[in-house]
């Protein structure tokens, strides 16, 4: 077995080709290079640790910190391209009553079940996050408000139709939903964008719950901007 010994200056060079994500071959063309193998292993460990810091351990969805990071990125993309990004805010109705009646373990089961409904309903390009407690956020890249509202209502219906098994009982869980979009001409921070969508969620709560609220004045403009292709891809799973 051939062994390659690096000089210090050679060890510092990148072991991974970031563009192709392939392990760079040993500069001396050795069949086995323990230094390169170890650096590659450590790189994989770091990737895994980074992923763990982005994931909510209970639901398996992205966490609040990752939401802010990616939302900023998608808003910047929208400013550059003019293509809007939509944001859905979801809050489970009467969740405290579930915890008080059945206990927190039952509440956790509800959160995990609803998280699965979200995963099964959204597109692959959408980014589902647990905002905190019983509240969820979903980033919809490249999505007009009209499309976002329709996707939100599909999520709301999916949650309502999903029965959760708790202590031998079939429990129906509903959610109040707010939707907003960030489009060309908007001047908001990520926090302000979330607050704006969250205000529509509160409107849904006050309006009777189990409903989707949004800016109806903006939806008219959004509908005129949406293309036929976007309509056909409304609920497409890519």
The pLDDT value recorded for residue 202 is: 98
For residue range 184-228, what is the model confidence (pLDDT) as tens digits? 889 999 999 999 999 999 999 999 999 999 999 887 665 555 455
CA distance 175 to 181: 20
Give the pLDDT band of residue 235 (cuts 50, 70, 90). very low
Residue 62 tokens read as: 């992205």
Residue 150 tokens read as: 């329709």
Domain ranges of the chain: 17-52, 64-232
The superfamily CATH assigns to domain 64-232 is Reverse transcriptase/Diguanylate cyclase domain (3.30.70.270)
Residue 147 has, within 13 A of its CA and on its CB side, a CA count of 28
Give the pLDDT band of residue 83 (cuts 50, 70, 90). very high
The pLDDT value recorded for residue 192 is: 97
Contacts of 88 (CB under 8 A, 6+ apart): 137, 138, 140, 148, 151, 152, 155, 177, 178, 179, 197
Q: Are strands 135-140 and 85-92 parallel, antiparallel or unpaired?
A: antiparallel
For residue range 34-44, what is the model confidence (pLDDT) as tens digits? 655 655 565 56
Sheet holding 135-140, edge to edge: 127-132, 135-140, 85-92, 175-182, 212-213
CA torsion sign, 219 to 206 to 120 to 47?
Answer: positive
- Report whether 159 contacts 194 (CB < 8 A): no
The pLDDT value recorded for residue 30 is: 61
How far does Cα 129 stand from its chain's mean position? 4
The pLDDT value recorded for residue 50 is: 53
Q: What percent of the chain has pLDDT over 90?
A: 64
Answer whether residue 75 shows pLDDT above 70.
Answer: yes
The pLDDT value recorded for residue 164 is: 92
Answer whether residue 5 shows pLDDT above 50.
Answer: no
Residue 135 tokens read as: 């509240």
How far does Cα 95 stand from its chain's mean position? 21
Answer whether residue 233 shows pLDDT above 50.
Answer: no
Mean pLDDT of the chain: 81
The pLDDT value recorded for residue 9 is: 36
Q: Are strands 169-172 and 22-23 parallel, antiparallel or unpaired?
A: unpaired
Find, among 119, 109, 127, 112, the residue nearest to 64 by Cα. Answer: 127
Cα three-residue angle 209-212-213, rounded to 5 degrees: 100
Residue 158 tokens read as: 């999916």
- Report whether 139 contacts 67 (CB < 8 A): yes
For residue range 16-56, what is the model confidence (pLDDT) as tens digits? 334 334 455 565 566 666 655 655 565 565 555 455 578 99
| Higher pLDDT, residue 223 or 238 | 223
Answer whether residue 125 shows pLDDT above 80.
Answer: yes
Q: Which of 134, 135, 169, 192 is catalytic?
A: 134
Find, among 140, 127, 144, the residue nearest to 230 by Cα. Answer: 144
CA distance 21 to 18: 5
229 is catalytic: no
């Amino acid at each position: 077995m051939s062994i390659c010994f690096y000089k210090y200056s050679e060890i510092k060079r990148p072991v991974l080709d970031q563009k192709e994500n392939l392990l760079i071959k040993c500069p001396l063309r050795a069949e086995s290079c323990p230094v390169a193998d170890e650096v590659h292993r450590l790189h994989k460990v770091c990737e895994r640790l980074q992923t763990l810091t982005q994931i909510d351990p209970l639901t398996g969805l992205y966490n609040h910190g990752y939401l802010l990071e990616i939302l900023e990125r998608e808003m910047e993309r929208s400013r550059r391209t003019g293509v809007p990004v939509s944001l859905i805010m979801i809050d489970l109705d009467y969740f405290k009553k579930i915890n008080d009646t059945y206990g927190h373990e039952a509440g956790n089961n509800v959160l995990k079940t609803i998280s699965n409904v979200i995963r099964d309903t959204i597109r692959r390009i959408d980014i589902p996050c647990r905002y905190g407690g019983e509240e969820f956020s979903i980033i919809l890249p490249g999505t007009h408000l009209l499309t976002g509202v329709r996707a939100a209502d599909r999520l709301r219906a999916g949650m309502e139709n999903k029965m959760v098994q708790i202590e031998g009982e079939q429990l129906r869980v509903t959610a109040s939903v707010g939707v907003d979009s960030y489009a060309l001409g908007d001047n908001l921070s990520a926090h302000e964008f979330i607050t704006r969508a969250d205000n529509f969620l509160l409107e849904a709560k006050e309006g009777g719950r189990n409903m989707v609220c949004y800016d109806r004045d903006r939806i008219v403009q959004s509908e005129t901007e949406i293309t036929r292709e976007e309509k056909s891809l409304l609920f497409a799973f890519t």
